[in-house]
Amino acid sequence: MHKIFIDGSAGTTGLRLEERLRERRDITLLTLSEALRKDSQARAQMLNEADAAMLCLPDAAAREAAALVRNPKTVVIDASTAHRTAPGWAYGFPELGAAFRENMTRSRRVAVPGCHASGFIALARPLLQANILSGDALLHCVSVTGYTGGGKAMIAAYESEDRDDALRVPRQYAQEQAHKHLREMTAIAGLSAPPVFCPIVADYPRGIELTIPLHAAQAGASPREILDCYRAAYRDAAAIKVFPEIAAMPPLACHDALHVTVAGNEERLLLVARLDNLGKGASGAAIQCLNLAIGAEETEGLQI
């Protein structure tokens, strides 16, 4: 029986994680009373008692919590942005290859990927690895997401009975091109420059559809060749599925899987990824990281 502590269980991701992990028979959840939830000494005790400590905190708090872990046997799995490109931390995306998977299983520090970043990296990295795209490619992408990705405040705003009518219209955000996922999107994909990123939040709860548009001259490959590249890259992937066309892809209820495909024609292409921002984009990815860290079946507790 593995002892798991969720630090930050009151947040959106933490609540979903706790709900899902309570169903597991191979896990015991360590908990703190409401009175002790913010007590640093009590938290430190739980963090070091756990076989795996799962951080669902803002970046600064996640850094502080990670520093509290002194037990060399405790695996820290951080769902924040704080450590995704930090030295000494494994990036929790095993589908990217044997080196990523091995690093995750050996490391005591694992960073859970960001939701938008997961879609972008899943589309871009295989093409760079296959030299279909070059590392200096100047890419851009559009990502439409449900409002639950914005956390409690955004959820409350969208689900309020007297909400602002402006929320009914999809709206761009992070127009200043400083979105917190850009660093990992660039580094993990293998790009020398960040993409131009246009995230859009829309009036539905869950699901991301992310698109990287390309001119064929940028790619140097046909839609069929790119699709074959994805099929080869994700042949053995537990949580990534490649579809022959957009029409064949299920709706945005992807649960804990990430779906990819290619659309367009011989001149202009659309690389498309779909995922659940609360599934493979958050709690599902965290559970996948946990499974690999504790030696459980990779898909245990996941809905693929």
- How far is 1 from 115, CA to CA, in rounded Å? 30
Residues 6+ apart with CB under 8 A from 98: none
CA gap 221, 54 in Å, rounded: 41
Paired sense of beta strands 258-264 and 268-275, if any: antiparallel
Residues catalogued as catalytic:
115
Q: Which two tokens stand for residue 98?
A: 């044997």
Distance CA 75, CA 47 (A): 9
Most distant CA pair in the chain, distance: 61
What residues contact 176, with CB distance under 8 A and at least 6 apart?
Answer: none
Among 139, 241, 261, smallest CA distance to 190 is for 139
CA angle 78, 285, 277 (to 5 degrees): 100
**Distance between CA atoms of 113 and 240, rounded to whole angstroms?**
14
Residue 143 φ then ψ, to 5°: -135, 120
